[in-house]
């Protein structure tokens, strides 16, 4: 069988979703680590964060890895949605009464929906923070890395943005609640011995990371509106 065939079976596609998913989990760790520097008690607010962001923005290696990140994201989204739409067609006549939460978790059944919500949030998020800097970097000879700390304060000043970001984090939390374990299961690592540990770590991860992320817009909203 060719490589293409291996990855076009249902398991093959799922492996791609799982692999990219776990890769995105790693990205979340890095992203969270860098961004959490907004909480650093600097004399000059946001100094640590701004430096780190500038490093990430200016470093060639990071920029190359970013291409990988976007490719991974694209594969995750396309394969995920294609599996979801295929699976939707496997039962033309639906049950009149369904088991609901008696046999499975709602978020496990709603990965397509949660993923789509995250995607919508992501578009806004990239528009806010990624596009301006990267656009300038690519096309403006006079470009200089924008101070993201103050940009964040500006973006998070209106309450509706904060709400959307928090909702994005909530979607992410539920997505991870299933996705973290699911990724390991897809790679066959959730064996009898390890599955309990993986599940626990997954739950912890799904709570802690989105919580840290969600606290940022709230915190900066406060900073922007009320000062320190």
Q: Does residue number 111 form part of the binding site for other proteins (CB under 8 A)?
A: yes
Binding mask 133-172 for other proteins (x = CB under 8 A): ----------------------------------------
Q: Does residue number 186 form part of the binding site for other proteins (CB under 8 A)?
A: yes
Binding mask 191-220 for other proteins (x = CB under 8 A): xx--x-------------------------
Q: Does residue number 4 form part of the binding site for other proteins (CB under 8 A)?
A: no
Q: Does residue number 94 form part of the binding site for other proteins (CB under 8 A)?
A: yes
Q: How far is the CB of 186 from other proteins (least distance, A)?
A: 6
SS (H, E, C) the chain: CCHHHHCCCHHHHHHHHHHHHHHHHHHHHHHHHHHHHHHCCCCCCCHHHHHHHHHHHHCHHHHHHHHHHHHHHHHHHHHHHHHHHHHHCCCCCCCCCCCHHHCCCHHHHCHHHHHHHHHHHHHHHHHHHHHHHHHHHHHCCCCCCCCHHHHHHHHCCCHHHHHHHHHHHHHHHHHHHHHHHHHHHHCCCCCCCCHHHHHHHHHHHHHHHHHHHHHHHHHHHHHHHHCC
Q: How far is the CB of 12 from other proteins (least distance, A)?
A: 7
Q: Does residue number 30 form part of the binding site for other proteins (CB under 8 A)?
A: no
């Amino acid at each position: 069988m060719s490589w293409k065939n291996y990855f076009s079976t249902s398991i093959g596609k799922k492996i791609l979703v799982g692999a990219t998913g776990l890769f995105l989990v790693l990205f979340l760790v890095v992203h969270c680590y860098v961004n959490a520097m907004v909480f650093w008690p600097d004399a000059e607010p946001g100094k640590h964060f701004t430096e780190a962001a500038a490093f990430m923005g200016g470093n060639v290696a990071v920029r190359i890895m970013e291409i990988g990140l976007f490719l991974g994201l694209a594969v995750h989204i396309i394969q995920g949605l294609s599996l979801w739409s295929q699976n939707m067609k496997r039962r033309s006549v639906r049950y009149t009464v369904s088991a609901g939460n008696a046999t499975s978790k709602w978020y496990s059944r709603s990965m397509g929906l949660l993923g789509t919500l995250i995607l919508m949030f992501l578009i806004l998020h990239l528009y806010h923070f990624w596009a301006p800097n990267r656009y300038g970097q690519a096309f403006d000879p006079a470009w200089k890395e924008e101070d993201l700390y103050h940009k964040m304060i500006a973006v998070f000043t209106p309450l509706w943005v904060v709400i959307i970001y928090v909702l994005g984090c909530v979607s992410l939390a539920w997505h991870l609640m299933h996705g973290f374990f699911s990724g390991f299961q897809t790679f066959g690592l959730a064996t009898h011995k390890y599955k309990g540990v993986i599940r626990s770590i997954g739950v912890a991860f799904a709570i802690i990371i989105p919580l840290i992320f969600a606290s940022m817009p709230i915190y900066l909203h406060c900073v922007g509106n009320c000062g320190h």
